[in-house]
Amino acid sequence: MASVAPTVEFDLDQISLRELNQFLHHDLGSGDHVEITHPNGRHSIAVGIDADVDVQIRGHAGYYVAAMNKRAHVTVHGNVGWGVAENIMSGVVRVKGNASASAASSGRGGLVIIEGDAASRCGISMKGCDIVVGGNVGHVSGFMGQLGRLVVCGDAGAGLGDSLYEAVIYVRGQIASLGADAREEPLSKSDISALVELLDQAGFAHEPSEFKRIASSRTLYHWNAAHLGSYG
C-alpha cells in the first residue's frame, strides 16, 4: 500500500485485517485519511492506532473496534460489537449506530460518542475518558468508574454507577435504578460547563439543565463488613 496518498482505501473483503492494522501502525503518512469498507462485523478493526489520522469505517464493526486508540479520529458508520474503544487513551471514536456491551471500558482519555444506544456496562471501569451516548445505556453502566464523564442523553438501565469512584455520570432521561454507593447530586456550574462542552463536541442539542448528576457517595471507599446493611 502506498503511504503517501491522502486517502487510502481498504476493502476488508479483499485484504486481511492484519494488513490493515499493520498499515495503521507502521505505514501511515502525514495527513492520511483512511476509508475502510466491508467491515462486516469483523473484530479488532483499527485497534491500537497511535497517529493523527482520520479513519472512516463504512458499515457494522465487531468487537474492540478502535480499542487502545491514541490521537486518531475513528468513525464507524454502523453498529459496533463489545468493547468499542476499549482502553482509549486519546482521540475521538464516534459510532453512528448502536454499541454493544462495555463501550469505552477502562478508557483513560479521549472522547467516545455513541449516537444510538449503548448496551450494558457502558464505561465500565472508565479511568479518565469522556463518553457521550445519544440514546440509552444498559444495566450496570459506569460500574467502578474511576475518572471521566459519562453523558447519557436517553435512559439508563438498572444499577447505574454501581461502586463508582470519581467518574461522574449525567443522565437526561429515566434511571431504572442506581447501583450501590451511587447518588444523585445537584448540578453545579462546572457540571453545566462540562455538559455544554461535551454535548457540543458530540453534536447533541440538549439543554444541560435537563440532566441529573450521578456521583459516588464515597461510603464504599473504606468498606466495612459491620456496615453491610447500609450499602446500596
Partner 1 sequence: MCGIVGLLVKRAELRVRLGEWATPMFVCMADRGLDSGGMAVFGSAQAGTRRMSLFVGDRQYDWQRFLESFRRAFSTDSAEILGVENHGILITSVAPPRVKTWLAEFDSALLVLSVGRSMDIFKDQGTAREISRRYRFAELTGTHCVGHTRMATESAVTPAHSHPFTAGEDFCLVHNGSLSNPYMLCRMLEKQGVHFDTDNDTEAACRFIEWRLREGDSLNLAIERAFEELDGFYTLLMATTDAMTLVRDAFACKPAVVAETDDYVAVSSEFRSMAHLPGVAEAKIFEPQPETIYSWRV
Binding site for partner 1 (CB under 8 A): 40-43, 59-60, 62-63, 79, 81-82, 98, 100-101, 119-120, 138-140
**Between 45 and 85, whose beta carbon lies closer to partner 1?**
45
Minimum distance from residue 190 beta carbon to partner 1 (Å):
34
Minimum distance from residue 47 beta carbon to partner 1 (Å):
16
**Between 30 and 40, whose beta carbon lies closer to partner 1?**
40
134 and 204 in contact (C-beta within 8 Å)? yes
**Between 177 and 188, whose beta carbon lies closer to partner 1?**
177
Helix (H, G, I), strand (E, B) or coil at 19: helix
Residues 17 and 20: their CA atoms lie apart, in Å, by: 5
**Between 158 and 187, whose beta carbon lies closer to partner 1?**
158
Minimum distance from residue 141 beta carbon to partner 1 (Å):
12
Minimum distance from residue 10 beta carbon to partner 1 (Å):
16
Residue linked to cell 457521550? 132
The C-alpha torsion from 119 through 121 and 124 to 130, rounded to 10°, is: 30
DSSP string across 139-158 = TTTTTT--EEEEEESS-B-T
